A and B are shown apart, each in its own frame.
Chain A
């Protein structure tokens, strides 16, 4: 796609020189604070120019974790139309779309449709399903304008957040209703993002209380499978509210939501019949809702506490199984500065899951209906060893019905070297507790036809993974180091390195094989039972840079590298655990033209995934935005521009068929009043 120049060496040399010059100039131009703001006269102050806050606000310089924050501006200018797309800008986070409604998202490796080492929370509500310890991304959606920020933490956060915050935590935080007073309407129409409408209306409903109502509906077009339409289109509707109350003693937030939708999805029910494959398309029906209320009270300058309660209900009818899940969760937290320099946080949490499942095919679970509890307590102390050196020690003590008590401590050290540079390091332990199917289920994972490397027989072999009561929690000990710096008002950088040592990871026993003969013929049933025999380590490096080159032009880049160091016992084990991209990068350019026109480019790169012959992917999205008046915003957005259609990832479960995502173009209009 690039014009071929005659002297590639010279071209390359010159541009490298330019990049180095730019970087060096960025690093050496420190701001000249010749005079503080307080010493200036009013006349002088009036001539000063202001800047919008940099990506690394002061608070991030005080954070001893690998955190990346996606803010409102990032959401708007990315051109993304859903939450998962946004996460592609975060270093170390792998985002792949399996079809128009299924996503595989993970941090620091171990990706997959059923990725299970990432915790996702929306306003304090955990949205992972205990079924497979992962997230059904198709139903995690919001009106984008109501999102204040998405905080993505790579690395364990289990000491605060509990089991399953193993490789990362995604915290989606919505704006208070007070901040969104007014009405905002967004509508879009396009080729892949076929059409949609979202409404947000907030108003004051009492002297200290504000209410926001939201509604959103959209249709997403299907992708492509084997040269034809994949019939995996998605229709979704949702309504929600948020009520904020600021009282004399209590502050409260209450949110609620309800959604209903339908996805198309493609399946392959492998069997010993015919050519062993049975491809079919089926609709998935989803319905759910939640209600959350959270109240906090400041007792005095040194002490505050909060309570939170929520219930979350979801219902899903899918080709292989139906699932009903009800979650009840209560939480208490107390922040207390008990002596100068010590900030103590402690709290407790009780959660109960009620599930009810119906297995249809290739999936089996017993008992079909169950109830299980999770209760925990945590304590953490932030202690200022020196004025600019803070030690954080804490642990979570969590009990689950599958493995009993789990202790998840961490220690973190933050050194605020100067007002613009901070260094941090952490050692933490996290566990992933068994998912329901790992304890009590069975699922068809793979098919080996005759002639396959793993099948020397003349009849097909079907591999089943079976859960076990003896399956333990997976364990991680993570070592991390990071550096964050506001190099100057225009440039901020964030680096982190990690070494993750995994023990007791899930794998299967050597399969027991049984030859089964029925009316359709004979096949070998292989059953591997869950155990915790796998161990190994991963390590890597992540970097994020935000650079305001001129008043009108900003670049945001991120890059991550990781390696896995595992001794896999077999092909299947290697396949199931090696969905990771060695190199990943994202580069965004945001350029403002006169007359409130914005041109934004976003280039992403994901390295090949060797175990599944998934080649590397370059992709590009472009956004043109125009704000003719403060009320109106018009946008033209192109996504997945570098390919007509492209497969991004294959599911780890053979019955789930991925399709090829198509290039898309859509027009979006936003009106505020």
Chain B
């Protein structure tokens, strides 16, 4: 059959010119789930001001703003716990829907709303995280950065300290970039 002939000639041709054949493929992960998992892990290194939670079992509220595919990654966090705290996730279309929370994740579709979102949260002890690269430089606390195939992050300590959020120094060591005292 001609299709078969052509297929095998094409494939063999490609192999001959040096295309590697992957007999065993490297394991990769869904980018959006990974971003959610990193956000969850970063939260482990954050201490909220006293009185933020009623008790040790009070839920940790994560708000995800933006309706793109990144938000879908957070579904994997539903039903999880951070220590003893159950995680609650709210998906917001805009800040009009915001009714408080401990972490706010800004998806990259909200790039043009960043200033507005951060203004609303100006004095609230809310950990702000985003996959918008410039987020930390623009006053957000944690930017997730895609570097080649890995996800890394940058943190802005000025932003977190201004609302009394304490980010552990262990996290400073893992960050690709740490912004403090304005640079």
Contact = CB atoms under 8 A, between A and B. Distances in A.
Interface stretch (A48-56, A183-191, A265-273, A283-291): A48-56
Interface stretch (B17-25, B47-55, B157-165): B17-25
Contact of B30 (A32, A42, A53, A490): A53
A46 B25 contact: no
A562 to B, nearest CB: 15
A246 B28 contact: no
Given A19-B11, A22-B21, A489-B25, A181 B111 contact: yes
Contacts of A16: 4, 8
Given A45-B34, A46-B174, A550-B20, A15 B25 contact: no
- Contact residues of A: prevailing secondary structure: mixed
A488 B24 CA distance: 11
B3 A583 contact: yes
Interface residues of B, number: 57
Contacts of A275: none
A15 B150 contact: no
Contact residues on A (Cβ < 8 Å of other chain), bracket:
35 or more
Nearest to B171: A42
Contacts of B33: 37
A40 to B, nearest CB: 7
A49 B76 contact: no
A203 to B, nearest CB: 8
Interface in A573-628: 583, 585, 587, 589, 591, 603, 605, 618
A42 B174 contact: yes
Contacts of B122: none
Given A12-B8, A549-B22, A51 B31 contact: yes
A204 interface: yes
A41 interface: yes
Contact of B41 (A42, A53, A583): A42
Contacts of A19: 7-8, 11
A52 B93 CA distance: 24
B12 A50 contact: no
B134 interface: no
B109 interface: yes
Interface string A547-586: 0111101000001000000000000000000000001010
Given A41-B41, A178-B109, 9 more contacts: A16-B4, A22-B21, A25-B24, A42-B41, A50-B28, A50-B30, A52-B31, A207-B116, A489-B25
9 contacts: A14-B12, A25-B22, A29-B24, A37-B76, A42-B44, A46-B38, A46-B150, A50-B29, A251-B93
Interface of A: 2, 11-12, 14-16, 18-19, 21-22, 25, 29, 31-32, 37-38, 40-43, 45-53, 178-179, 181, 204, 207-208, 246, 248, 251, 488-490, 548-551, 553, 559, 583, 585, 587, 589, 591, 603, 605, 618
